[in-house]
Structure 1
Amino acid sequence: MLAVSRPMMPRGDWLRLRTLVNLRWISIFGQLVAITVCYRWLDVHLPLGPCYAVVAGAVLANLAFAWSSPTNRLLTEAEARLTLLFDMSQLSALVFLTGGLSNPFVLLILAPVVIAASALSLTTTIIMAVCATGWVTLVTLWHLPMELSDNTLLETPGLFRFGFWMSMVIGIAFTSIYARRVSTEIRTTTKALLATQMALAREQKLTDLGGVVAAAAHELGTPLATIKLVSTELMDELADRPELLEDAALIREQADRCRDILRSMGRAGKDDTHMRQAPLTSVLREAAEPHMARGKAVEISARSEAGMDDRIPTVLRRPEVIHGLRNLIQNAVDFADSTVWIDARWSDDRILVRVADDGAGYSPQILGRIGEPFVRSRKSPADPLRPEYDGMGLGLFIAKTLLERTGATLSFTNGSSPFLKPEERISRSGAVAELIWPREALAPENGPLEANPPFEA
């Protein structure tokens, strides 16, 4: 079953016009309140005409946006960039008219930079950060001073002004990097979780498909039996007519063939309650089967821990377990030199599965981040470890997420130091993935299995 993925939407297409329009209305309201309070209650003389003209420009721009396009429209990258640049320029003009860095509201110049870092591309974020730095520098060097009613000028000392400018520049860089890092982490995790859900849904559909096939095989059995019976009677009646007898024999032969096909399909796909559980080794072999013919030896072993019952535990054949184990085994086969070992151990209170290979092991720089989505191994000429690795960690993330949902605890390590020479390594020197389940989470209590529900006639 193939899944058609939608192309990645440009980051600028994640911003709605309504969002920026509403934010600008809030900004306009705040600017009007600040100008009015400073002029009427704090006795600060401001150039009211130019100040209100700058605010009126923002009002007109907002009305034009609201009337020209549906507010639920997604903005393109260029449109979002121009909108944020307009907001930054409008605010900077207002700061220029009201004292430059002496105006504490100069900090709001950071807002468009944070929005760009959170929702737009890296190029736009850099452009916004450079423009914000430029505007802050301009209003630091050139601005209209604020004046009280007694003609006292509100001017900050030069050293303080320089320190405030430096803090603004550093703040622009820090907040943009911080916001972008956090938003990127959230987005990659969201995409990886979506991929996990799709993988699990696919595995569940394949499991459900078996029940459909079994039901079809059962329902078609009766009409095929009727066809076979009628064709047999026809053969008896047409014994003296060889040309028709041959056709009747062909009908019977094809009916038998259909019966055999449906019987094999039913055995493979029947949603039998007995098939919902299986010995631990059978589940491991089912998970490893797609990768056992890829030129690497896959060895499966199972034994109880010291002093425990040697009977192999029966575990639930959950899609999460099989798909998660399959991803771990695929990773081991991909990077093994010749052999992959799958070891199962159990006791009264836990079940342990260890997947190891004889490859070069995990690269040290990603060992602590294994299981995170979209972790790419950084290769360099001096780092020949796993040179063929070009994945993004999504398979291991899916495996870790699915298996942890079943109650497993995962750990990743190397069987030996990855810096040893090939001749110095032990046999199981490569990557090791270890899973530990509480026994009650994976193995149901031993007892009689439920009876299969009867098929309706």
Structure 2
Amino acid sequence: MREAHAINLSWLLRLRWGAVVGQAALILLARLGLEMPLPLVPLFATVGIAAASNAALGLWARRRREIQEWMLWAVMALDVVLLTVLLDLSGGPFNPFSTLYLVHIALAAVVLRARWTWALVALALGCFGTLFVRHLWIPGRDASAAHHHIDDVPLHLEGMWVAFGLASGFIVYFVQRVTRALAERDAELVAARAVTARNEKLAALATLAAGAAHELSTPLSTIAVVARELERRVELSPAGREDAQLIRQQVARCHDILAQMAADAGASRGEAFVSLTPASLLEQALEGLRGVERVRWEADGRCREEEVSLPARALSQAIRGVVKNALQASAEQTRVRLALAREEAGWRLSVEDEGSGMPAEVLARACDPFFTTKPPGEGMGLGLFLARAVLDPLGGRLELRSELGKGTLVEMTWPVERLRQFARLSSEASGASLRPPGE
């Protein structure tokens, strides 16, 4: 709610500047164009108070102060009082621009709660009523005046038409802009909640990996010891000894996989940034991948020349997971195409397969953790989820496009400038941690 008040105040400041300019222009038009006898000094002094208060309020708001609802009401109440002074100096209730009271009431209805809105309505009614008291209900006020407002009825009616147009324009413009700003803020909140939810899932996944590593370490160690004892037995045949060695190798591999599971679950925040070319990153991601001979990739000339600082291990694992999905989704005789291109903001990697594609309901859930359509044993449904979890904190994106019978296209982008900022902050933090205490 406080953030909404800050947004409302920013747009209220802009509207008030527009009102100051409009009021000054109308006063000059009425005095010079229509030759109406107006007290210019008091009128411009009132407009000057509005301008000065708006400038002071803008400077105050830039200091990131906490905006309260009563502050918005106070600003609107000041505008109602200043409008009343301007109307009193330029015809009172006969001034057609008295309809501008409705602008303030409409704005209050949009940005304030009911009690504050009704309070502003009461203030506007009271101020408007004072104009009738001063200009109509005090006997003899205009008795000696050579000119009476009743003589200006045609001009008054024409002014009412202009005032209606201005009031309508102000209301529609401000309400639409505030509504749009609030919608953008709500969209940002939804995106922030989605990122928070993904981070919570990553934390749960890392906890699960750590627990699995802890629980499986003992039986794996036992298997490794037994395999070593079998390998040392003299009566074991050469084939049996090879099988024992294979068991030990696979157990060691299981140890390595379990040790890296937590880190692979989106631990790019704590990984040190290293400088390398995008081509080297891609080669690192494809190294040792099963079925890599079916991968065909192309890149522009800058991919082997321009270096960028990034979390190489996490990002290469993310790319590896996406390419692995593409290989598994394609038939053995088909190719997977990779295209690496330098764009204005950063790098874009496209991974396109020739598989059967995904229907809309599967595409909508493709990045959810543990969601997979693969047969048992071919995947856990974490590749796309982890890839997005790595790219999001870096300012990158992962986008999917797929149609049944036409394959799937996955595009991964990561911005260069954002990565440079991350690398600089990472190096500064590393340098600070290495300094002796007291320096």
Tell me which protein shows more helix as a share of its residues.
Answer: 2
Interval containing the TM-score (normalised by the shorter chain): 0.3 to 0.5
What TM-score comes out, normalization by structure 1 length? 0.39
What TM-score comes out, normalization by structure 2 length? 0.41
